[in-house]
Amino acid sequence: MKFRISEKYRLELHWDKVIYEQDGIAKLSNCYFIGPVLKEVEEMNQIDSMSLDFGKQYILVVPYYYIANLSWDGVHQTVERIDLYDVVLTNKYVNSVPKLNDDDYILMDTSKHISEKHHYYLTYPSYLLRFDGDLYSFRR
């Protein structure tokens, strides 16, 4: 599967460890955002969430759209990096789709979330990548 994201709108979510304690929830430890788009990001809410749309990548793995909710309770924001605290990724399929590895990361396309467009779009197109930047392909 091919995908294109303008470098300007690239946002990456990284973590040190993934913990699966209960169905539908993956906890992400030492989680942070990096990417060129951070130069444009306004101050983030300390407690918030965003919907990540993995539909294009996971279409063969789950019977419906795969939109996961990423939520956090605390942020520390600089121009180069945003550290997130108490981060969880939730979706009823989160335990049945291929598990996240500690060295994976999520790439998000934020191009439709500039100030004048943000309220029209509810999700962020997202992709799970390996540590080396290769896109996971779940085709059989």
pLDDT digits (tens, 9 = 90+) for 107-121: 998 887 666 665 666
Residue 54 resides in a domain = yes
pLDDT the model gives residue 1: 44
Question: What domain count does the chain have?
Answer: 1
Residue 14 resides in a domain = yes
Residue 15 resides in a domain = yes
Residue 56 resides in a domain = yes
Q: What is the pTM of this model?
A: 0.87
Q: H/E/C letters for each residue in 6-68?
A: CHHHEEEEECCEEEEEECCEEEEECEEEECHHHHCCCCCCCEEEEEEECHHHHCCCCCCCCEE
- Counting Cβ atoms within 10 Å, is residue 13 exposed (0-12), middle (13-18) or buried (19+)? buried
| Residue 13 to residue 115: CA distance in whole angstroms | 21
Whether residue 5 has pLDDT greater than 80: no
* Cβ count near 71 (within 10 Å): 14
State the maximum Cα–Cα separation within the chain, in Å, rounded to a whole number. 42
The residue segments making up the domain with residue 17 are 7-129
Residue 137 resides in a domain = no
Residue 140 resides in a domain = no
Residue 34 resides in a domain = yes
pLDDT tens digits, 29-62? 999 999 999 988 888 999 999 999 887 765 666 6
Could you tell me which residues are beta bridge partners of residue 52? 68, 124
Residue 2 resides in a domain = no
pLDDT tens digits, 68-126? 999 999 999 998 999 999 999 998 877 667 788 999 999 998 887 666 665 666 788 89
pLDDT band at 133 (very low <50, low <70, confident <90, very high): confident
- Counting Cβ atoms within 10 Å, is residue 119 exposed (0-12), middle (13-18) or buried (19+)? exposed
